[in-house]
Structure 1
Amino acid sequence: MTAVLPEKYTVRPPTTEDARTILELVSAYNTSVIGFADWTLDDAVDGLTDESFDPARDGWLVFEGDRPAGFGWVAGKGDRRQLDQDVVADDLALERWLLDRVEERARELGREYGQSVVQLDAVAYQADTARRDRLAGYGYARGTVFHRMRIVHDGPVAAPEVPAGVTVRRGTPDEASRRAAHGVLNAAFDGQFGFTPRSFEEWQASQENHSAFDWSQLTLLEVDGEAVAMLAANDQFVEDEDCGYVGRLAVLEKARGRGLAKFLLRDQFAVDAANGRAGTILHVDTNNPTPALGVYLSVGMQAVLVMEVWRLEVAV
């Protein structure tokens, strides 16, 4: 049975002018669970302006009188078989209503893109046992676990030696180099949990919408003129953590075992330390089919936060 919105609430689509209101809602929840906001105003604006998100159809901002009481959204990439969502509400009846809106919109997106089933993913902090239990009660199942990894920079970090036979290209100012990075990313992450291949145009638009990113922060590694590895860094965690962030690290299967991932990580550590950052952060899927977690631990990174992805299969 579909939940009914309690009469005390009103709802409307969000706009970019609501970014600070949404930030306050999300930050209050995050702080109640993990002790800090873990979100910024730029994060809120980026989400509302991403090309994959249609505010009029994909978001719901709820008020009790003038007081913001809840927010929910759903969005997908590529073929929309896998969709991401989040719901924040201070009332369980409102939470259920928002989740119903998310599932209803997920079915619509599935039909629009010719899917018979879509996978709806929600991220929960592992510390929030109550929310995890509720998601399980709503029919979600735990899909994977992500660790937020961090390394602290107490001073300058020496740049690593470039592996033999490897050419390092810093920045991707032209379309050809961006297409090369996009190709490495799609090939290296193919089949991994939650990853949806995107067209070059969609991926490029998303990168350019991200306020913390610019193309100078993308590094390519080439062997014999072919791009075989990439690292895309950004400033997402500079404002709140004073840390650089590795958004994506990808190495083609045929180029693995040569130390390219470790080189790219140590290279980024040196860049972040030279820029005065207190550390470097990244996220890793602990069920990754590659030995990614071991690589990050081997270069001195440590887990500082644990998040779980809960998945619901929605028949279209």
Structure 2
Amino acid sequence: MQPGYGIRTPLESDLPAILRTVNAAGRAGDATAAAQTVDEYARIWSRLDTGRDAWIVTGPGGEIAGYGHLTAEPGEGRAHADAYTHPGHEGAGVGTRLLELAETRAAGLAADAGRTLSLVNYVYLKGASERLLRSRGYRRTRVHQRMTIALDGPLDAPVWADGVTLRASTGTAEDLRAVHACAEGAFGDRWGAGPRPYDVWADDLLYDGFDPSLWLLAEREGRIAGAALCRFRDVQGEPAGEVSQLAVRREDRRLGIGRSLLLASFALFAGRGASSVGLDVDSESLTGAHLLYARAGMAVTVSIGRFEREVPGATADGPGARS
């Protein structure tokens, strides 16, 4: 890094300032990016040893110029690195230093696990971050797309197949477990997906801001056939909708349930004052989800690459060695 920049361990009191940097970096890459929240990061931090798994880069004036953390899934053979550079500090080597710290930490975790880990990074394509990763031996393994639709005009109405009805989740434990079963069954053919126990799934989706009235469920023959799991986000200071998951059971596909759930989500958000709705999708979805979203009027705003590099366990003399 350039002179005047430093590294330190983040403190809980840093979270608001960290989020300002994270959100500024997100908006610089995609104007439609939803703002991350303190609650979301507090949840992430609850899974980390922030003394070893998270880093702040300070600028010459002591401001937060960059932030990064590493989350590991040694049992799955993966670790995920997230790093953000404030736009005002690009070109100072902040991103490179955060990547080096993540790689060194991943090497230590690989040694502890006794196996090679695949270190995963997600970055906007065709930018400095992609060039940095490629220069360090990362390969692109997938492309995801951010898609949005503005809610500033007439919307198509959902058309439900015979025998299909729509309701909102009740938010009860029984209902949520039924939604989980539907979602897990639907995503069984998603690239890179593995089964997620209820507790893991719930930890990802059921935290501050969860509103069961925004979870739309399509029922058929007495069971949940599909689900649109939605939430509100903030995009440039305006309320916006987010479809976190859209799932249809395999045996209930080809009935238009996915499209109808999506259109019902648009109507729900429009009725509650949202300016837009967004979601993330695999550009090579085996179910053609990205094509369904496009036909419903959503457009790609940015492409995000998944990059991976194998990180072997540390050796006594290697760059990942620990003292």
* Residues in 1 aligned to 2:22 and 2:254: alpha-carbon distance in whole angstroms: 41
* Residues in 1 aligned to 2:198 and 2:110: alpha-carbon distance in whole angstroms: 22
2:120 alignment counterpart: 121
1:298, CA displacement in angstroms? 1.4
Counterpart contact for 1:19–1:41, Cα < 8 Å: no
Question: 1:171 aligned to 2:169?
Answer: yes
* Residues in 2 aligned to 1:97 and 1:228: alpha-carbon distance in whole angstroms: 47
SS in 1 for 2:161: coil
* Residues in 2 aligned to 1:172 and 1:118: alpha-carbon distance in whole angstroms: 40
Q: Tell me the percent identity.
A: 27
Written as runs of structure 1 = structure 2, the 5 A alignment for 1:1-316 is 9-34=5-30, 36=31, 38-40=33-35, 42=37, 44-50=38-44, 51-64=46-59, 66-76=62-72, 79-89=75-85, 90=90, 93-109=93-109, 116-128=115-127, 130-155=128-153, 157=155, 159-190=157-188, 192-209=190-207, 211-237=208-234, 240-316=237-313
Moved more, 172-181 or 92-101: 92-101
Counterpart contact for 1:233–1:247, Cα < 8 Å: yes
Counterpart contact for 1:48–1:55, Cα < 8 Å: no
SS in 2 for 1:288: coil
2:318 alignment counterpart: none
SS in 1 for 2:206: helix
1:167, CA displacement in angstroms? 3.5
SS in 2 for 1:190: helix
The structure-2 alpha-carbon separation of the partners of 1:269 and 1:315, relative to structure 1 and needing over 3 Å to count, comes to same
Counterpart contact for 1:246–1:281, Cα < 8 Å: yes
Counterpart contact for 1:167–1:223, Cα < 8 Å: yes
Q: After superposition, what is the alpha-carbon deviation per residue over 1:66-117, rounded to whole angstroms, capped at 9, x for unaligned?
A: 23232111125694534332223446654333223212333455566x5734
The structure-2 alpha-carbon separation of the partners of 1:299 and 1:38, relative to structure 1 and needing over 3 Å to count, comes to closer
Structure 1 counterpart of 2:248, which letter? V
Q: What TM-score does the superposition give when structure 1 sets the normalisation length?
A: 0.83
The structure-2 alpha-carbon separation of the partners of 1:151 and 1:62, relative to structure 1 and needing over 3 Å to count, comes to closer
The structure-2 alpha-carbon separation of the partners of 1:183 and 1:156, relative to structure 1 and needing over 3 Å to count, comes to same
* Residues in 2 aligned to 1:170 and 1:20: alpha-carbon distance in whole angstroms: 33
* Residues in 2 aligned to 1:78 and 1:156: alpha-carbon distance in whole angstroms: 48
Counterpart contact for 1:26–1:39, Cα < 8 Å: no
* Residues in 1 aligned to 2:121 and 2:140: alpha-carbon distance in whole angstroms: 9
Q: What TM-score does the superposition give when structure 2 sets the normalisation length?
A: 0.82
The structure-2 alpha-carbon separation of the partners of 1:119 and 1:146, relative to structure 1 and needing over 3 Å to count, comes to same
The structure-2 alpha-carbon separation of the partners of 1:28 and 1:279, relative to structure 1 and needing over 3 Å to count, comes to closer
SS in 2 for 1:38: coil
Structure 1 counterpart of 2:41, which letter? G
1:194, CA displacement in angstroms? 4.8
Counterpart contact for 1:219–1:232, Cα < 8 Å: yes
* Residues in 1 aligned to 2:252 and 2:68: alpha-carbon distance in whole angstroms: 41
Q: After superposition, what is the alpha-carbon deviation per residue over 1:42-88, rounded to whole angstroms, capped at 9, x for unaligned?
A: 1x541233343442332111224623232111125694534332223
2:321 alignment counterpart: none
Counterpart contact for 1:19–1:45, Cα < 8 Å: no
Counterpart contact for 2:35–2:235, Cα < 8 Å: no
Moved more, 182-191 or 103-112: 103-112
Moved more, 147-156 or 257-266: 147-156
Structure 2 counterpart of 1:121, which letter? V
* Residues in 2 aligned to 1:257 and 1:29: alpha-carbon distance in whole angstroms: 40
Counterpart contact for 1:12–1:61, Cα < 8 Å: yes
The structure-2 alpha-carbon separation of the partners of 1:279 and 1:137, relative to structure 1 and needing over 3 Å to count, comes to same
Counterpart contact for 1:125–1:306, Cα < 8 Å: yes
The unaligned stretches of length 5 or more in structure 1 are: none
1:309, CA displacement in angstroms? 1.7
The structure-2 alpha-carbon separation of the partners of 1:184 and 1:56, relative to structure 1 and needing over 3 Å to count, comes to farther
Structure 2 counterpart of 1:269, which letter? F
Structure 2 counterpart of 1:104, which letter? T
1:250, CA displacement in angstroms? 1.2
* Residues in 1 aligned to 2:152 and 2:34: alpha-carbon distance in whole angstroms: 25
Counterpart contact for 1:155–1:273, Cα < 8 Å: no
